[in-house]
Structure 1
């Protein structure tokens, strides 16, 4: 049986498909390496990231024009996961919903440390704020519900309360620097305190809903 060689016209699309597949794989490898390396050192160089991915610095520049573009992509990956948690977290009681969200976001931040570390860097605040718009919108919704129902403090407007919750949570994360896997209780308590719950009310809430800190 005689085999016929592939014509140049048919071979070219195959080569192009192979190059696209390689490029996609390399980009994924670079992003995975960036998250891995930046989790340990938020200021890691592009050389360190490329080396971790098993690629050259030149290959990295084929996908990202500079370090900032790579960091923005890492932020976007983490933000997508954080925003999904915010959208998925709900409960008829806004106190429970807020506590669930805070705990789940902490655990996710611990899992994707690179995104969290970059997000906590003052140099990337603006980028982080834009990327986390859905999460911030959900926090505002919860504060409006909580204030309207009397579950949250009513001495400040809901929009200001949402801002205070966001900034306090961020400051707490900066202090903890994702150094312990069991700091979710601290984060939850801080958020609930800003929302207006006393420590006794926090204890009662968490005792009634152990799944919040158990990882539901």
Structure 2
């Protein structure tokens, strides 16, 4: 009797740990699949997301009771990614920081497209805007520094320049024809062009900072 009592809890504890790991892995798989699916198909159903994750519909409902809960979690995941990007783009030269920002956004294009598609629904606009706030704040800081130092174009306010850069980057990352035919270098060039750098200035800057493309 005592042997059974001793082995029982240990076995249960071990099984519980494995189940928790499996549950965490399934949740991560579902969120990755949801982000990737919503990036291309804004109205994707829960069944579609479950299939993309290689899991059953029942497994999905075990983590997310409805589509609303899943979408809000995808927004939260995107917010974490955007915050990390904004914190990583630090360089004394605003041109270099902007290039890093563009390159990192390119690598997270799926998150950008998913957030933009979710934001098309009025119910999620406030949350997606909040998720993007760290990036917008960082971009405005860069344009203020760049315009003030003469590194960026000075024929408009830093705030307007930041808005134009954001809209251009968003359009570039959302357009499938561009995504399929464009490299990260082209995406960086597009953003630097809006900031006012000539193609020769861009060429020299990127040649001096090859680390911008690390991880390509």
Q: TM-score, normalised by structure 2?
A: 0.78
Aligned twin of 1:81: 81
Query: What's the RMSD between the two structures over aligned residues?
Result: 3.3
Query: For the structure 1 residues 212 and 181, does the alpha-carbon distance in structure 2 shift closer, same or farther, using more than 3 Å as the test?
Result: farther
* 2:120 equivalent to 1:123: yes
Change (3 A) 1:176 1:197: farther
Counterpart of 2:175 in 1: which secondary structure? helix
TM-score calculated relative to the size of structure 1: 0.78
Partner of 1:141: 141
Distance change in 2, residues 1:160/1:43 (3 Å) = same
Residue 152 in 1 paired to residue 191 in 2?
Answer: no
Q: CA deviation at 1:102?
A: 0.6
Distance 1:166 1:134 in 2: 13
Q: Deviations over 1:69-123 (max 9, x none)?
A: 31232232133123212211211111111111111221232xxx2x233223251
The structure richer in helix per residue is 2
- C-alpha separation in 2, matches of 1:72 and 1:65: 12
Structure 1: runs of 5 or more not aligned: none
Distance 2:172 2:201 in 1: 20
Alpha-carbon distance in structure 1 between the residues aligned to 2:190 and 2:84: 22
Does structure 2 retain, via aligned residues, the 8 Å contact 1:104–1:215? no
Q: Tell me, yes or no, if the aligned pair for 1:98 and 1:142 is still in contact at 8 Å.
A: yes
- 1:100 is aligned to 100
Q: 1:149 to 1:47 in 2, by over 3 A?
A: same
Give structure 2 stretches of 5+ with no counterpart: none
